[in-house]
Amino acid sequence: MLNTLDSSQAPAYPEIIQGGMGAGVSNWRLANAVAKQGQIGVVSGIALDTILLRRLQLGDPGGHMRRALKAFPYPEMLKPIMEKWYIEGGKGEDEPYKFKPMPTVDMLREDEELLIVANFVEVYLAKEGHSGMVGLNLLEKIQLPTMPSLFGAMLAGVDVVCMGGGIPMGIPGALDKMAQLEPVEMKLHVETTDRSQVFTSAFHPGTHISAGQNPLKRPLFFAVISSDILAKTLMKKASGKVDGFVIENYSAGGHNAPPRRGDEYTERDICSVAKVAALGVPFWLAGGCASPERLNLKR
Q: For residues 289 and 194, which has the higher predicted lDDT (pLDDT)?
A: 194
Element (H, E) at 246: strand 244-248
In this prediction, residue 294 carries a pLDDT of 61
Q: What CA–CA distance (Å, rounded) separates 12 from 21?
A: 25
Q: What CA–CA distance (Å, rounded) separates 281 from 5?
A: 8
Q: Which residues contact 183 (CB under 8 A, 6 or more apart)?
A: 177, 202, 203, 204, 205, 206
Residues 223-277: tens digit of each pLDDT = 999 899 999 999 999 999 999 999 988 777 666 677 778 778 888 888 899 999 9
Split at pLDDT 50, 70, 90, the class of 21 is low
Share of the chain above pLDDT 70, in %: 89
Split at pLDDT 50, 70, 90, the class of 32 is very high
Split at pLDDT 50, 70, 90, the class of 8 is very low
In this prediction, residue 296 carries a pLDDT of 59
In this prediction, residue 40 carries a pLDDT of 94
Split at pLDDT 50, 70, 90, the class of 7 is very low
* pTM assigned to the model: 0.89
Using alpha carbons, list the distances in angstroms from residue 263 to 108, 169, 259, 271. 41, 27, 6, 18
Q: For residues 191 and 176, which has the higher predicted lDDT (pLDDT)?
A: 176
From the list 245, 276, 252, 216, the residue with the least C-alpha distance to 13 is: 245
In this prediction, residue 160 carries a pLDDT of 97
Looking at residue 92, its amino acid is G
On whether the CB atoms of residues 159 and 192 are closer than 8 A, the answer is no
Give the torsion sign (CA, 186, 45, 175, 78): positive
Q: For the chain, which residues make up each domain, given as ranges?
A: 2-48+111-257+265-286
Give Cα 93 distance to the centre of its chain.
32
Residues 33-63: tens digit of each pLDDT = 999 999 999 999 999 999 999 999 999 999 9
The single-letter DSSP state of residue 90 is -
In this prediction, residue 297 carries a pLDDT of 52
In this prediction, residue 286 carries a pLDDT of 83
Work out the mean pLDDT of the chain and round it to a whole number. 89
Residues 87-138: tens digit of each pLDDT = 999 999 999 999 998 888 889 999 999 999 999 999 999 999 999 999 999 9
On whether the CB atoms of residues 170 and 239 are closer than 8 A, the answer is yes
In this prediction, residue 250 carries a pLDDT of 76
Q: What CA–CA distance (Å, rounded) separates 48 from 112?
A: 12
In this prediction, residue 6 carries a pLDDT of 43
